[in-house]
Amino acid sequence: MLMTTAISVLLFLPLFLLLAFVAYRIVRDAPLKIELQRLQGIEDEARSSTLRLESKSLELENLRIQFTRLEADMANEQRSSSEKIALMQESETRLKIEFENLSNRIFEERGRALGLENRERMDALLQPLREQLDSFRKRVEEVHSRDTEQSTRLIEQVRQLQELSGRVSDEANMLARAIKGDSKKQGDWGEMIIERIFEASGLEKGREYLVQESFRAEDGILRRPDFMVLLPGNKAVIVDSKVSLTAYERFCSLDQEPQRQTALKEHVHSVRRHIGDLQAKEYSSIAGNRTLDFVIMCIPLEPAWQTVMQNDPELIYDLAGKDVVLCGPTTLMITLKLIVQIWRRENENRNAELIAEKAGRIYDQVFLVVEAMTEARKKLSGVSDSFDLALKRLKEGRGNLVGRVEEIRRLGAKVTRQIPPDLVADAEDGAVESE
């Protein structure tokens, strides 16, 4: 009996020790599994932060590339403008010298024959031309000075673009926390941020953009867009501020991933709902055809805009078929800078038309001189040799005066009369022979 009991104890003793060892390992490894799960969560968060950092780096690189292109374009444009203005100033100076020399020679050679009365008559004839030349020179100098000033200011504003965008984003984050939950304050703050971007862009309020102006649409209902950017040709672009940060604030503040994903979906849904509301307003129907067929919807908080684009990539394709363009502060600033360039080119074109008009007046004055000299030649046969010499100097030689003013007319100067074709042909033949 004792032998049987001893054998039973010996048989169950290894089994008992094995069970005790397994229970010990389970109790010892439980904290390690909890720590492993915590480390995996930290690793996931670090991976997410790395992806956000790569996105920011890519955006910064794109901004640098855009800045480099803008700077190169500005340098080329400024260099081309300076060369054209220098050429015009040189031509104006040479024309003035030629006229003065020609006038002096004519007076010297025909002074004895025509007397004091004819000299005064010729001086009165040339005086308006001198005044036109002086006015033309002053206008060219003003255009050059203004272009240089505008180019310098634009380059400085482009250099401050990245810094300004960073400041706007930082301020937006702080203010979003302060005004969370209050839709009215959020809307006012968003409009303030966008208006600051407008002010920093270089556009002039009241002339190149309007703030909350009321317009009556084709259906008779008043429309009041947040901002209207005016463009040349009586066109405009609507800019609307979208600030609904309640869901986005919860997305940023929550720790549990399921709750964060729920808040993120609400944020994306809020943006899509606002896009639909904007499309329904039909700003393009404002009376007078003052708008284009799309609206820029700006989310003035850069991270909120990026979060929508990253988590709803199909949105950009959906917007392609709608009347709304979605952007953040940085993209809005770049768009406004391009509009500043459009206005600058429009003003340059107007200045070019004014310069062409001035050049046309110079051409008309030269025509009067040629006409008067031709008539005088017919009437004063006694001094025909002097007039032949004067006409020869007008139409012969490389870069002769008649050839130069005719070239001004061909370039588009607005003239009321035209130098006789035979005299122009003689001037062209004289220029060829001198070569």
Beta bridge partners of 95: none
Quote the pLDDT of residue 389: 65
pLDDT at 379 over 70: no
* φ/ψ of residue 296, rounded to 5: -90, 120
User: What 8-state DSSP symbol labels residue 301?
Assistant: S
Quote the pLDDT of residue 216: 76
**Helical (H) or strand (E) element with 231:** strand 227-231
- By the 8 A CB rule, do 222 and 214 touch? yes
CA 90 – CA 185 distance, rounded (Å): 60
- How high does pLDDT run on average in the chain? 73
pLDDT at 252 over 60: yes
Three-class SS state of 212: coil
Summarised one tens digit per residue, pLDDT across range 305-348 is 888 888 888 888 888 777 788 888 888 999 899 888 888 888 87
Summarised one tens digit per residue, pLDDT across range 171-208 is 555 555 544 556 667 777 888 888 899 989 888 888 88
pTM above 0.75, yes or no: no
Summarised one tens digit per residue, pLDDT across range 92-127 is 777 677 767 766 676 666 555 555 565 666 666 556
CA 394 – CA 430 distance, rounded (Å): 10
Residues 6+ apart with CB under 8 A from 60: 162
- By the 8 A CB rule, do 209 and 291 touch? no
